[in-house]
Structure 1
Amino acid sequence: MSMTFLASKDNAKIKHLRALIEQNQYRKKHQQTVLEGTHLCLAWLQTHKNLVSLFTTEAALEHPDLEKIQEQYQGQIFIISESLYKDLSTLGTSLACLAIIDIPKHAQTVDLTVDTLILDDVQDPGNVGTLLRSAAAANVKQIICTKGVAALWSPRVLRAGMGAQFSLLCFENADLSLLLPDFKIPVYVTSSHRSESLYAQNLSKPCVWILGNEGQGASEYALTHAKAVAIPQPGGQESLNVAIAGSICLFEMVRQRQ
């Protein structure tokens, strides 16, 4: 294992790392992203995938979590100063660990017969990551996102999802009009303005869930081409956060199948 000290923020390796952290188009161009924190790095390595490169500080190298990563990663480690790490990091006070990975590619096509979560213009990275984490926990493996959804492999969504992406089959920039008519299973969309209750549905078989934009809710196309259901809210709130609403739907499905 080789270690290289990098002192300048103008170093080409540092510029590449910073651009991957900050720019979605740059991530798309290079098909790479950044894992921040030892939890994500260890979760990634546990899926038998490789890190492209690892950036940390001299002090962090002695931490047990970094030692675990070094046991599984035999590539190059770049040592940077504490001040440079703080300048790059989006986590604030955390153990210094930034890893570049190649964004996974897959040849699969959408399976029209399995449990699926569709995110339709859900823009907040925290909401998207939370929904991916809930989907993975509920054993929903297929995720489909329309064009307006926060990038699934951005550092912020990766952190919010706690690495849920690593076990999911993800499709981005999808067109609902080309997908929904072909599904062979029931398709549901959440809407706080519909009277039919989530709890009146039979969710014992595979189904599709559509969750819409934080402000506007589900699109007209989704409401027209899917069965709209509401989550009862006896406390009288106008609506629920989309990540909470989606998690409730997914785990009502799990409850019915137990």
Structure 2
Amino acid sequence: MLPEKPFLPITSRDNPRLKHLRGLLEHASVRRKSSQTVLEGIHLLDAYQRAGKIPDSIFIAESAQTHPEANDLLDAWPSVARFILPDALYKEMRTLGQGIDIMALIDTAFVALPEQLNTDVLILEDVQDAGNVGTLLRTAAAAGIKQVICTKGTALVWSPRVLRAGMGAQFGIQVIEHADIKEILERLTIPLHATSSHANQSLYALNLKTPIAWLMGNEGQGASQIALENAISVSIPQPGGQESLNVAVAGAVCMFEMVRQRLI
């Protein structure tokens, strides 16, 4: 095993590393410019470690350095730079509530849109709520979908809120961001399905056993007109008479109907 890195103290809020970390936590522009983000809390760091990935550096509060779960992570990454902060300084910066005060700085690689889209894929078109995006990523990963494409209007998948909602799903799937819906449609070689409350075709009447592209649209407006013109519009029967389902719930219903059919 590699020798363990020593803890390096940070005691000033004006420390450049701390300023950069705070910028990543608070500003999407900093995350985009640096191609980095912050994982906050033991559960996200554990998911990152279980995915076989290694962070750039770790930041921990003094009171957390002896916690068994924190030590397990530190033992798994002995060569990663680690910085220790006074509890008061750490609490000024954190966005989580009570817990094990540890976070990691990670790199986020840019992924280009493939020339052909021919395997199961989830497309998020202008889905703006961070909780919905994170939930959809987590659901896609659970359903075995390995590729998720987000249009330019979709919440950023590496933001702290989406990371927390995704619970580490980002680490096991390929996520493509800032894609243009027209370009996505041009590269699809498999059927595209989009949910619509006005569609006559029921989800449960479809054959979902071959590769499929699912499109989930904006919370308020739904899928765009150009997407609907190029998709098979499907409805989810709602005997209770509600106008529509939350987009994350609709996505889960669709993806797990696909799973159900393929397990038969």
TM band (smaller chain) = over 0.9
**1:206 corresponds to which of 190, 208, 211:** 211
Q: Does 2:72 align with 1:68?
A: yes
**2:196 corresponds to which of 179, 191, 194:** 191
RMSD of Structure 2 on Structure 1 (CA):
1.4
**Matches for 1:69-218 after TM superposition, within 5 Å:** 69-73=73-77, 74-106=79-111, 109=114, 111-218=116-223
| Distance in 1 of aligned mates of 2:243 and 2:7 | 55
Unaligned runs of 5+ in 1: none
Q: Does 2:28 align with 1:4?
A: no
TM-score (norm 1): 0.96
Task: Name the counterpart of 1:232.
Answer: 237
| Distance in 1 of aligned mates of 2:95 and 2:38 | 11
Unaligned runs of 5+ in 2: none
| Distance in 2 of aligned mates of 1:180 and 1:107 | 15
**1:34 corresponds to which of 25, 30, 38:** 38
| Distance in 1 of aligned mates of 2:242 and 2:93 | 40
1:53-77 CA-to-partner distances (Å, cap 9, x unmatched) read: 1111111111111111111112222
Structure 1 contact 118–211 (Cα < 8 Å) conserved = yes
Shift of the 43–159 alpha-carbon distance from structure 1 to 2, 3 Å rule, reads: same
TM-score (norm 2): 0.94
Shift in Å, 1:24: 0.8
Q: Which portions of structure 1, spanning 4 or more consecutive aligned residues, are displaced by more than 4 angstroms?
A: 105-108
Task: Name the counterpart of 1:18.
Answer: 22
Structure 1 contact 2–75 (Cα < 8 Å) conserved = no
| Distance in 1 of aligned mates of 2:45 and 2:254 | 30
- The residue identity in structure 1 corresponding to 2:144 is N
| Distance in 2 of aligned mates of 1:4 and 1:78 | 5
Aligned length: 258
Identity %: 52
Structure 2 contact 110–176 (Cα < 8 Å) conserved = no
The secondary structure found in structure 2 opposite 1:177 is helix
- The residue identity in structure 2 corresponding to 1:10 is D
